[in-house]
Amino acid sequence: MRLIETGLPGLVLLEPKVFRDERGFFLETYSEAAFDALGIRARFVQDNHAYSTQQNVVRGLHFQRPPFAQAKLVWVVRGSVLDVAVDLRRGSPTFGRHYCVELSAKNMLRLFLPKGFAHGYATLAPDTEFLYKVDAPYAPQADAGILWNDPDIGVPWPSADAVLSPKDRLLPRLKDFDSPFVCEPPLADAGGAAITPNPSGVTHVDEIQRSGQGSGPPRGDFGGRLRHAAVAAVALVVSQAAFGAQRRHDAAAADRKPRAGKFSARERLGGDQRRARVRGAQPAEGSEPGAGRPRFGRAAGAQHLARHSAGAWQHCAPAERRGRRSGRCRRRGRVPFRPSGGGPGGLAGLPRPGHEPGRGRALSSPFGVTPRKPETGYGYIARSERLEEGAYAVECFIEKPKLEKAMEFLKSGRHYWNSGMFVFRAGNFLEAVRAHAPEHWSWWRGRDEKPLTAGYGALKNLSVDYGIVEKITNIAVVEARFDWDDLGNWEAIYNLGKKDGNGNVIQGDVLAIDCRDCLLISKGGKLAVVGLSGMIMIQTRDATLACPLTDVQRVKEVVALLKAQGSPLVESHLTVKRPWGSYSVLEEGPYYKIKRIEVLPGARLSLQMHHHRSEHWVVVSGAALVEIGGEERLLVENQAVDIAKATTHRLANPGKVPLEIIEIQSGPYLEEDDIVRFDDEYGRVKHENS
């Protein structure tokens, strides 16, 4: 198989090796080994076949939004098409550019599209059959597209008189589309292997195999990348090194091999899931001073960075903040920066590499956002003397003020909104934790080999802002030179949302009649609303919130009351993430509970038993390797097994696609603490027995 570069990073054309004789021909339509050798690690889970009766049929430009985004391998087995790919990855040097190629039954070429590309084609002949493989199943809720003849993209379609579906005629133009895809160097496929451009433009499998290349960079080799990021640009530390170090260090500390893309840093920390909130009724944690626990993933990231350079920059940003540039929002938890024009490496709102704000005086630099209105839901930073352009000494931090004070701050010109984002030197951050949060520091340093979740829940609630940053005296505030929004309440979600003709932001299965200026979200069944104005309606499977947009700050009162009543809504979610996958509670009652369990490819649960319940498992999709009483058996779709109480058992996924099962528990006690573990990949046996 021959790989041909297209000029768009990650998008490659493939020419299979065809064996011909008098009988006809033979070729491999797909070879996992050949793709691995070329550095293409997508694991395909679904094949699709499209037939077009006419010439000039246009299908596209289509894609699926994350987290259901798809990499594709496409080709033609009958007829021919003009195949088109458009780069939708923000930050890519080829964003918005397209690539066209003729695919036909005659040339037998294949086109591989990584995630982040829109795809479409026009048939060049009648009775054309088009095949493609995808690495994620079809998800109708994530189905999306770009207008096929968008003049900003400029695809040279063979005919302007195309045969289109009604849906494709109504797709938006690129300029009206907020892309959810972000280009993160190095460009990689789903398996983590980089596809590196070849100067010759052509790569052969046998050449790669002879040279020993093509297996991708070692998954654990993050030190070199972090050192390079710290030296080359603070932005890379912000967007990759700090976040990547946190995730991977958390994984290593939890006594398991890190698996890219399995679960988020927050889920690895475990305890952060338990912060008080109403699921579906409050996007961020409570607004009381000091609420929330410090992100010890940040400490992990700082420790990892400090091993290579104590002077490396670390950026801390809460996930419920959003930065925005040029009308396009970056994904949540990441803030875009652009060259400031102040010389090589200069970054807007950030100090240049090797240069600290305040002429080296500041140990920490929070970002301050110039207020646009008298906001009572944000904290403020008061500045004092100017240290240099865009940097000021901090006079004090102010918690959420009353309206009168907020109006004074807006007029003063010397108060900023506290964005909750900070830049530290890695070594300084660790020293600050040790000096100002000794209890947390002692826990962190004394964990030994225990997982991060061990003892985390017993720690005092303490945010990084309140527990550390506000206690540092040598601190400078940096004026943010980028747009910023706080996603800490539903009003912010409404302000950022795309509104219909009546000013409504609608998500999910919602029927709205004569409603204006409302935020209407359903994640659990049909939500029907009539005659509302300026209201919020949020519906999930187990909770519903209704309140005026002007009263969103009072959601914390709901949380406090539910917590006082002992409601489980503030402690647990119906869907719980685990290192091996997740489970969702579908229904429960006295003496029974029904769960949907998803196990990631290659993952397995602990060897365990229960004293008070028996279980019945039914495989919905995938393959399950089940161990019961020391004996193993393989189950596939529609097969089931019973597990008696006090019987050791284990569930594993030996396949390459997610395993989904339905678990029915029955017994007098069904809580999660009725688990006795005998063997566990995630260190929980050692912790429980210590």
Chain mean position to CA 74? 26
Whether 214 shows a pLDDT value over 50: the answer reads no
Segments in 390-489 forming alpha helices (H): 403-412, 426-436, 438-445, 464-467
> How do residues 60-117 score in pLDDT, each as one tens digit?
999 999 888 999 999 999 999 999 999 999 888 899 999 999 999 999 999 999 999 9
Q: What is the pLDDT of residue 320?
A: 52
Please count the CA atoms within 13 angstroms of the CA of 189 that sit on its side-chain side: 28
Average pLDDT over residues 180-190: 57
Give the pLDDT band of residue 123 (cuts 50, 70, 90).
very high
Give the pLDDT band of residue 122 (cuts 50, 70, 90).
very high
Name the strand (E) or helix (H) holding 413.
Answer: none
DSSP per-residue string spanning 50-101: EEE-STTBEEEEEEE-TTS---EEEEEEESEEEEEEEE--BT-TTTT-EEEE
- Which comes out higher in pLDDT, residue 358 or 135? 135
- Residue (of 422, 219, 475, 425) closest to 302 by Cα position: 425
Q: In CATH terms, is domain 574-689 a member of 2.60.120.10?
A: yes
Average pLDDT over residues 310-328: 52
Whether 349 shows a pLDDT value over 50: the answer reads no
Instruction: Pick the catalytic residue from 99, 121, 132, 456.
Output: 132
Average pLDDT over residues 432-444: 83
Q: Which of these ranges, 96-100, 162-166, 396-400, has the smallest mean pLDDT?
A: 396-400
> How do residues 664-676 score in pLDDT, each as one tens digit?
999 999 988 899 9
Give the pLDDT band of residue 328 (cuts 50, 70, 90).
very low
Dihedral over alpha carbons 278, 284, 286, 290 (to 10 degrees): 140
Helix (H, G, I), strand (E, B) or coil at 518: coil
Q: Which fold has domain 223-310+338-486?
A: Spore Coat Polysaccharide Biosynthesis Protein SpsA; Chain A (3.90.550)
| Residue 238: DSSP 8-state | I
- Which comes out higher in pLDDT, residue 172 or 471? 172
Average pLDDT over residues 628-643: 94
For residues 153-182, b (16+ Cβ closer than 10 Å) or e, as one string?
A: bebebeeeebbbeeebeebeebeebebbbb
The torsion region of residue 638 among left (phi > 0), alpha (psi -120 to 50) and beta comes to left
Give the pLDDT band of residue 550 (cuts 50, 70, 90).
confident
Q: What is the pLDDT of residue 452?
A: 64
Whether 62 is a known active-site residue: answer: yes
Beta strand pairing call for 364-369 and 505-507:
unpaired
Most confidently modeled of 462-466, 499-503, 563-567?
499-503
The answer to whether the CB of 608 falls within 8 A of the CB of 678 is yes
Percent of the chain with pLDDT over 70: 71
How far is the C-alpha of 36 from the C-alpha of 189, rounded, in Å? 11
Q: What is the pLDDT of residue 256?
A: 39
Whether 249 shows a pLDDT value over 70: the answer reads no
Q: What is the pLDDT of residue 36?
A: 80
Give the domain ranges of the chain: 2-210, 223-310+338-486, 490-568, 574-689
Whether 30 is a known active-site residue: answer: no
Give the pLDDT band of residue 426 (cuts 50, 70, 90).
confident
How far is the C-alpha of 293 from the C-alpha of 298, rounded, in Å? 12
Instruction: Pick the catalytic residue from 62, 315, 415, 610.
Output: 62
Q: Does this chain's domain 2-210 share its CATH topology with 574-689?
A: yes
Whether 223 shows a pLDDT value over 50: the answer reads no
Tokens of 606: 């602990």
- Which comes out higher in pLDDT, residue 45 or 439? 45
Please count the CA atoms within 13 angstroms of the CA of 360 that sit on its side-chain side: 2
CA distances in angstroms from 367 to 296, 342, 351, 374, 474, listed in the order given: 20, 19, 11, 18, 15
Mean confidence (pLDDT) of the chain: 76
Whether residue 186 has a cis bond before it, omega within 30° of 0: yes
Q: Which of these ranges, 298-302, 487-491, 596-600, 675-679, has the smallest mean pLDDT?
A: 298-302
Q: What is the pLDDT of residue 259?
A: 34
> How do residues 638-682 score in pLDDT, each as one tens digit?
999 999 999 999 999 999 999 999 999 999 999 888 999 999 887
Per CATH, the number for 2-210 is 2.60.120.10
Give the pLDDT band of residue 689 (cuts 50, 70, 90).
very low
Q: What is the pLDDT of residue 147?
A: 95
- Which comes out higher in pLDDT, residue 214 or 382? 382
